Amino acid sequence: MAAATALPFLAWARESTSADAAADASAKKLGAKNVLNVRDFELLAQQALPPAHFGYLATGIDDDRTLKRNEAAFGDYEIRARRFADLTQLNTGSSVFGSRWPLPIYLSAVSSMRAFHPDGEAAVGRAAASRSVQMMLSSGSSVSLERVLSERGGPVWQQLYPTDDWSVTERMVERAEKAGADAIVLSVDTTVTHEVRNSETLKRATRVDTRPCSACHKDNRHDMWLKAPLFAGLDVSRVHELTPPNMTLPWLRRLRDRVRGKLMVKGIVTGEDASLALQQGVDAIIISNHGGRNEETLRATIDCVPEVVAAVKRKVPVFVDGGVRRGTDIFKALALGATAVGIGRPHGWGLAAFGQEGVEAVLDIYSRELQAIMRQAGTPKLADITARSVLPRRA
């Protein structure tokens, strides 16, 4: 029986060819700087992690089709190559919220990163500092916000799972702002909780992992509010969900009134919801479907960019995450109107494979690839990347 239940996960986990596996093994010996592309870090992470921990990083829900669609949809857009541009000075930098970003990339929130490497989010913070990129820290971070801020040497965005207890929400916001987080990022795409969502890939991985969960999880429970440092010292006795069931517009307005600094909303995928959030005074919109982890809509986030950008009318920045695996993907997102892109799983892969150095290597690959396609497209600076730079592929 054990062998039979393992087969689907093992088949999924071994999609790479033997040649790819040999190449990745060679890359592991050569070091992070010699990994050829972002996707290659995935197999290295799989090799480094226990099955359940890799399954947690890899999983979507149901058939993982939305997860896969996020990535595949970038292939539905073509880039128009242009000639005769002056490329003597190439600049991938931009200004976001008044700060200079050398790359239009931020590290998106990923929970429990000590499951991938002993240094967890602290190593990610150091990598963000060394490459001067923005970092968003999950409410489920396994390293305290205070330590991450110290390693980062600058502000971070604090992602917020507000829970169904408003008093806990207030205390988390207060703690984050007091520590020095310069933005609160409310996730609104988690209305399906882990008790009911069908995370098949994770479940298959867990079945072939022989380690006792109690070694990592208190009382064998995986509830974030029982283990994450952001919840430490708070009365969570009345918490049952990460997201309140009454997260309506009045609830958002109440949070807006409570947050002193920037408030961003993560998980918007339609123009209608972007407009509604904007009316409540949010400072930015993040187009996201949680990496396909919570919904099986089959709609890729890159396909949501045009309507959200049109609804926002350039009043606030619009970011997008999900499926960004190449520099060309970043280019396409910017051409469709995004301010910058977030990467989640890829820096988790880099962390699992090589620690801080792996996260840095992932960012360096994105940077090189973005510079390469900007040259091919004749766009020496980000402002030159416009809607004219891409076309939808013909069926």
Tell me the three state secondary structure of residue 111: coil
Strand partners, 391: 78
- CA of residue 389 relative to chain centroid, distance: 25
Question: Cα separation of 330 and 317, whole Å?
Answer: 15
Cβ-based neighbours of 46, under 8 Å, separated by 6 or more: 13, 54, 58
Tokens of 309: 């950008």
Element (DSSP H or E) covering residue 264: strand 262-268
Q: Looking at the annotation, which residues are catalytic? A: 290
CB proximity list for 221: less than 8 A, separation 6 or greater:
none
Distance from C-alpha of 162 to C-alpha of 145, rounded to nearest angstrom: 16
Asked if residue 256 lies in contact with residue 162, where contact means CB atoms within 8 angstroms, the answer is no
* Residues pairing with 48 in the sheet: none
Determine contact, residues 122/143, Cβ cutoff 8 Å.
yes
Q: How many residues does the chain have?
A: 395
Helices (H), 120-269: 120-131, 145-152, 166-179, 200-207, 249-258
Name the token pair of 202.
């994770």
CA distance 40 to 91: 27
The amino acid sitting at 392 is P
| β-sheet bridge partners, residue 91 | 381
